[in-house]
Structure 1
């Protein structure tokens, strides 16, 4: 019976981890689609003043998606800590049984700001952000 409870509990936590990872994946797809479609629709004006403002405006969704991705990755890390805690402690205790409250582990993982500049998110979002800025500044100064 105790083993059955453990399996159900870790299945619940794993489902949340999977959902957070899926959200992160979807955000990246939406961002690339958004930027690609807008730049493709303005391909005839890529080196004109019209796209200058567009590229600067597109920086805002990049920042928003970047933050949201870091948010989901942060929560995923919290749930991984919860998962580890359940595996380690469930055999000895029924404390927090079936609790999906991750907040007690938030101090044990990196904050959202630090996750934003992690080695996984910075190259993806930073590169996109820099390309948009480069397009905008190129059109302003050249």
Structure 2
């Protein structure tokens, strides 16, 4: 039973790390976007500078989706290891068996977990740019 519990702990630590990375990305996204908006608000810069804010927003959106997908893959592995017998445990962290089961990256980008955070941010940036230009 010790091997099974140890393997489950390894997988759980990976899942926790992916979740923490996702949380940190959301914090960095807000921080960087606010900093770009504040910098663009100085007297000599115009609204064209705000286009730069889209770069980290889109990049972090993709990266956050990637972390969420990896987390889902490891959750599938966790479920499989949980149901295995003790003598079959091999401490494998290979998630390639679940690639077809877990949603594709583009679907995760627009999922409730990720999309509900990044789509409004990108919308606010875009609307602000258009309002300042027209």
Q: TM-score range by the shorter chain?
A: over 0.9
1:133 and 2:131 matched: no
The structure whose RCO (Cα within 8 Å, separation 6+) is larger is 1
Count of matched residue positions in the alignment of Structure 1 and Structure 2: 134
Return 5+ residue gaps in structure 2 as ranges. Answer: none
Q: Which residue of 1 aligns with 2:8?
A: 10
Alignment TM-score, normalising by the size of structure 1: 0.88
Deviations 1:7-55 (A, max 9, x none): 100000001001100110110011100011221233355xx971x2222
- Secondary structure of 2:88's aligned partner: coil
Gaps of 5+ in 1: none
CA distance in 2, matches of 1:127, 1:54: 19
- Which of 80, 83, 108 aligns to 1:115? It is 108
Task: State the Cα RMSD in Å.
Answer: 1.6
Task: Choose the corresponding residue for 2:64, options 69, 87, 94.
Answer: 69
Q: Is the 8 A contact 1:71 1:112 kept in 2?
A: yes
Structure 2 length-normalised TM? 0.93
